[in-house]
């Protein structure tokens, strides 16, 4: 049977308050002999504090809720790992919730985490949550918890909530500008779902680079994907029939789909088609033709998320709207346009 703080007090013949002070490091006025006795009993019986009971007293559970839209997307799984590592170093544990890009799961997760009395909530919205008035539902649900929260990766257009986001406009610009600098003029783009802020902003960066270079805008070269492998494959199969020399896929998973489409028609990357992705996932560096990709600094992103949350806990001034700049990792998937057919 699990030992309680009352059991320790009874065996040590001291009060529950005395035991609590000893186990929580507040035993300045307690004798060394009593401290030794209490700790010995706790150690001998492998005593583990009741977190919920401690939470009732301190109003802190040392837990954080993390809600992500797609655990199979390697960007989100890497982000979750680094967030957990950073919070563990601060003495916090993580409750991880995966929504599968479904609004109902967002709302259920918020309610469940609130019932668990987590100290804070970090959320990257599902695709469904970004549509129509669904963002208002998420925002209202978060505010009703009266729990500090941080919006990550996918934006909510509100000024009164903490956000840590990637500069996706700049990332889309970097990718496209790199292709233009290599001489490409006919550049297609496979976007993410356009209700999601990251997808819309990456397209904005693409368009900014195209127009800055004086290239005529061609709507037919822009197809909306969904950040999944299959949409990259499907749209590449269409785009490769057009007069293009390069493709900017707005995440690496869709870029992998482009590789597959190229293989099926014996197109070579980069000799026949140049390709840039976005996210710089681990697998992008070990492909047969390593993928040039916009790198989101997941470590820096995680550190800023943790700092923003802890700042809210401690009542410290924080930057409510942090924007992390991406960089371009150049590999072998882009060639000069003169080498393309």
Looking at the fold, whether 310 and 289 belong to one and the same domain comes out as no
Q: What is the CATH number of the domain that holds 30?
A: 1.10.260.40
Q: CA dihedral defined by 72, 75, 78, 84, rounded to 10 degrees?
A: -90
pLDDT tens, residue by residue, 165-188: 999 999 999 999 999 999 999 999
Residue with tokens 């967030």: 83
321 vs 159: CA distance, rounded Å? 8
pLDDT, average across residues 115-119: 92
pLDDT at position 340 over 50: no
Contact call for residues 326 and 312 (beta carbons, < 8 A)? no
Residues 179 and 287 in one domain: yes
Q: In sequence order, which residues have a C-beta less than 8 Å from that of residue 238 and are 6 or more positions away?
A: 223
Same domain, 63 and 155: yes
pTM: 0.79
Are residues 245 and 178 part of one domain? yes
Q: How far is residue 313's CA from residue 64's CA, in Å, rounded to a whole number? A: 12
| 24 has pLDDT over 80 | no
Question: Which residue range is the domain that position 107 belongs to?
Answer: 58-166+297-324
> What number of H helices and E strands is found in the chain?
12, 12
Q: How large a percentage of the chain has pLDDT more than 70? A: 95
Torsion of CA 34, 40, 42, 45, to 10 degrees: -150
């Amino acid at each position: 049977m699990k030992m309680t703080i009352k059991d320790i007090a009874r065996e040590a013949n001291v009060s529950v308050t005395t035991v609590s002070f000893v186990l929580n490091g507040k035993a300045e006025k307690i004798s060394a002999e009593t401290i030794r006795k209490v700790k010995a009993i706790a150690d001998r019986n492998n005593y583990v504090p009741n977190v919920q009971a401690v939470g009732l007293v301190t109003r802190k559970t040392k837990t954080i809720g993390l809600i992500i839209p797609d655990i199979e997307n390697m960007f989100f799984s890497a982000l979750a790992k680094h967030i957990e590592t950073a919070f563990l170093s601060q003495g916090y544990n993580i409750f991880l919730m995966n929504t599968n890009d479904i609004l109902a799961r967002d709302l259920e997760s918020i309610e469940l985490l609130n019932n668990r009395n987590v100290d804070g909530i970090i959320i990257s919205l599902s695709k469904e949550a970004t549509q129509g008035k669904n963002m208002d539902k998420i925002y209202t649900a978060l505010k009703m918890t009266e729990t500090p929260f941080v919006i990550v990766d996918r934006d909510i257009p509100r000024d009164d909530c903490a956000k840590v986001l990637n500069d996706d406009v700049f990332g889309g610009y970097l990718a496209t500008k790199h292709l233009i600098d290599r001489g490409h003029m006919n550049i297609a783009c496979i976007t993410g779902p356009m209700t999601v802020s990251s997808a819309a902003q990456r397209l904005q960066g693409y368009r900014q680079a195209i127009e800055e270079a004086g290239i005529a805008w061609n709507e037919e070269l822009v197809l909306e994907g969904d950040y999944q492998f299959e949409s990259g494959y499907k749209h590449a199969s269409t785009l490769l029939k057009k007069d293009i020399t390069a493709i900017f896929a707005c995440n690496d998973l869709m870029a992998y789909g482009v590789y597959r489409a190229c293989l099926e028609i014996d197109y070579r990357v980069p000799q026949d088609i140049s390709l840039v992705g976005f996210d710089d996932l681990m697998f992008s560096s070990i492909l047969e033709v390593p993928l040039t990709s916009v790198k989101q600094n997941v470590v820096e992103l995680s550190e800023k998320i943790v700092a923003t949350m802890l700042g809210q806990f401690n009542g410290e001034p924080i930057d409510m709207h942090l924007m992390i700049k991406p960089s371009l990792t150049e590999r072998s998937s882009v060639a000069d346009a003169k080498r393309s057919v």
